[in-house]
Amino acid sequence: MNRKEAQVKGAHSKRAAIFLTVAVGALALLATGLPYAVPPVHAQEQPSLDEAKDRLQQTFSQAIDLFEEGKFEEAKAAFERVQAMAKEWGVTLGERTRLTIAEHLEEIEAELAKAEAPEQEEAAEAPEVAEPEAAKPGPTPEQQARMNELEEQYARAVKLYQAGKLEEAKAAFHAVAAAGARQQLTLSYETEAGLRRYVGRIDDDIAEAARERQAALAAEEASRKAASEEQARRTAAEAEAREAMAKAEAEAAAQAPAHASGAGLSQALPLAKDAPKAAPGAQASARTAGPR
């Protein structure tokens, strides 16, 4: 294998390793199987939040696929389109998503720079006669079986990481790395590169997840406090209304006996006035029926 073929193979292997580092962000931007047409950003459009997330997810996934296929110019345009769409629509990308985009753009720039380097520079170099290397013995059946086990453990660790179980994933990654080093086993290039990347960043991811949980708890507590205060205000208002109603009823009840006494007195007065009028009639009857 000449030097150029080795560089191409190394670049493909590095791209495969980087793909393993794509984390599930707050926007869940890891959908696959979508067409490669990057949706354009129209300044006059302002999609809903769900539509914006779907379009960002589609574009991000396309950028990853383009990168894996070695279409670096198209992948660069797609990653930059994700950043532009998020900025225009006011969508905040998660920290891990932003880090993934930055890493891929850096890798793309490196690949493009290598492609643009003059090819004659390599031709101008004096050819080196490589000494034939002695064939290295392959792993024993027992070693191969153990390597397969470690590859499976690594795959499970990646799934734990993607599921957000970061503490469990951290322990699993460290266990795979320690077992490989202790038993002097060389795993696949993708697994070795993935281990280095995950082990190097998982502590930061755990800290970020803790901050996100703390922020969510604070928001929940604030919401609960606001609801409690609103309920207290309603209860106080209802109590005040009941107190005012009771006071009005008491005042009405206190005024009712006074009205009743006044009505009885007015009915009794005419009878008292009629009593003297009846007396003269009775006297006239007495005189008419006097002694004969």
What is the sign of the dihedral through the CA atoms of 39, 65, 173 and 204?
Answer: negative
Give pLDDT, residue 146.
Answer: 92
Give pLDDT, residue 130.
Answer: 58
Contact 161, 194 (CB under 8 A): no
State the 10-residue block means of pLDDT for the chain, 292 residues long: 48 44 38 40 67 90 92 93 90 89 92 75 58 71 91 94 93 91 88 91 92 91 92 94 93 76 52 49 47 43
CATH 1.20.58 for domain 145-241: yes
Give pLDDT, residue 125.
Answer: 61
| HEC per residue, 260-273 | HHHHHHHHHHHHHH
Closest by Cα among 217, 2, 1 to 122:
2
Q: CA 124, CA 208: separation in Å to the nearest integer?
A: 50
Q: Considering the chain, tell me which residue range(s) the CATH 1.20.58 domain(s) occupy.
A: 145-241
Give pLDDT, residue 48.
Answer: 87
Give pLDDT, residue 257.
Answer: 67
- Rounded to 10 deg, the angle between the 72-89 and 95-116 helix axes is 150
Q: CA 187, CA 180: separation in Å to the nearest integer?
A: 8
* Type of residue numbered 131: E
10's tokens: 């190394």
The size of the chain, in residues, is: 292
Give pLDDT, residue 244.
Answer: 95
Closest by Cα among 133, 115, 99, 130 to 11:
115
Q: Which residue has the tokens 């345009």?
A: 77
Contact 170, 202 (CB under 8 A): yes
Q: CA 3, CA 6: separation in Å to the nearest integer?
A: 5
Give pLDDT, residue 90.
Answer: 87
Whole-Å CA distances, 260 to 87, 249, 265: 80, 17, 9
Helix (H) or strand (E) run with residue 238 in it:
helix 189-288
DSSP code, position 129: -
Q: CA 284, CA 289: separation in Å to the nearest integer?
A: 9
Contact 91, 56 (CB under 8 A): yes
Give pLDDT, residue 180.
Answer: 86
Give pLDDT, residue 292.
Answer: 40
